[in-house]
Amino acid sequence: MPRRQTRRTSSPKSAVPFLSIALSIIAIAVSGYALYTVQHLPPATTIVQQSQSASGTSQGSQGSSLALPDYNIQSALITPQSSLAAYPVITDNKSLGSTLNGINAPLNQTELSAINNEPDSYYEKAGEYLLNNSLASFFGGAGSPGVKVNAFTVNGKPSVIYLGSITCVFCGENRWAMALALAKFGSFNSLYKGYSALHDQDVPTLYWLPATYNSSQVNLGSFYNSSLVNLIVIEDTMPISGGFNLEPLNSMQNQINATGNLAYKDAFEYILKMGNFQGTPYTIWGTYQYSGANGEIFGNLNATIGSSLPLTYMTHDQVLNQIRSFNTSFSWGEYAAADLYIAQLCPSLNNTPSVCNLPAIKGIQQRLSIS
């Protein structure tokens, strides 16, 4: 479910009056909602895309391979600030669906443990549900393997690369599964409470770092620690009070290059060289690249993006309690989505971490031909 990037292009001066009228009509038609292009693709759908590789133009689709250059570099990663005075924690009493209550608040240790310390048995059982199609409506079947790529290696470790947007509802839903997956290879010292944009469902989510939620910037870095993998976070921010919006890629690249950080500069260059970016979230898990969220997990098996989403009307505590208790279809779906990411990441680690040897993870790899 990638959210497509919307770009403005300049028009000839003679077209301005007509364009102004047309835009006014559109604005009325959507009753004040932000304009954006959304690509709705079931997770199991094959997405055929053009890719530019080192050897020329090739076809890249979920389940295929791309010929790309190797990256094996030495570089420090970016450690962000733990709080931002200009973007404080917000406390409001607005109802769920129109609230930013607690945005940028760090998870306390009890909340953080619901991500860092859940047992392998939850991942195994959720993987079994995925494989027997009990969760098919979340994933359009048993999921998709992604596109086979070369690992992006930094300091001798393969990387998970994430390009997302705080305004994007699919990014918001997907970060729960990402965090659960990453927790099996390391741990988070900090995570933060966040939301998708108020006019893009306002779902509660996790932020990897405090967000510049009222401005157009690129936020970089995380508080993830692992001896096995790197996490490279590139998070676009736009005013959270609006709808989904995304900066042009060249603007993001300019901001990243200005940091002088080699790992982030090369990671973004790697994404551009793939030539298949369509929207957010966009992730690379070791040797597999995935376009979009790997499931639509918005609260229960019947919730879809075109309806009122149960997730919109949950608090962060309610989400974390379900993840901790593992007794709802929502929690099963989030762990199953994490399993798909784990299955993708394990081959770049030679399947040596213990989670890689869970029968359900091996079953997913076999089902999706992940190797």
Query: How many domains, in total, are found in the chain?
Result: 1
Residue 227 has phi, psi (to 5 degrees) of -85, -5
Per-residue pLDDT of 68-101, as tens digits, reads 778 999 999 999 999 999 999 999 999 999 999 9
Per-residue pLDDT of 112-125, as tens digits, reads 999 999 999 999 99
pTM, two decimals, is 0.85
Q: Whole domain around residue 28: which residue ranges?
A: 3-368
In this prediction, the residues of the chain whose per-residue pLDDT falls under 70 are 1-64, 67, 141-142
Per-residue pLDDT of 179-227, as tens digits, reads 999 999 999 999 999 999 999 999 999 999 999 999 999 999 999 999 9
Q: Cα 361 from chain centroid?
A: 21
pLDDT computed for residue 304 by the predictor: 78
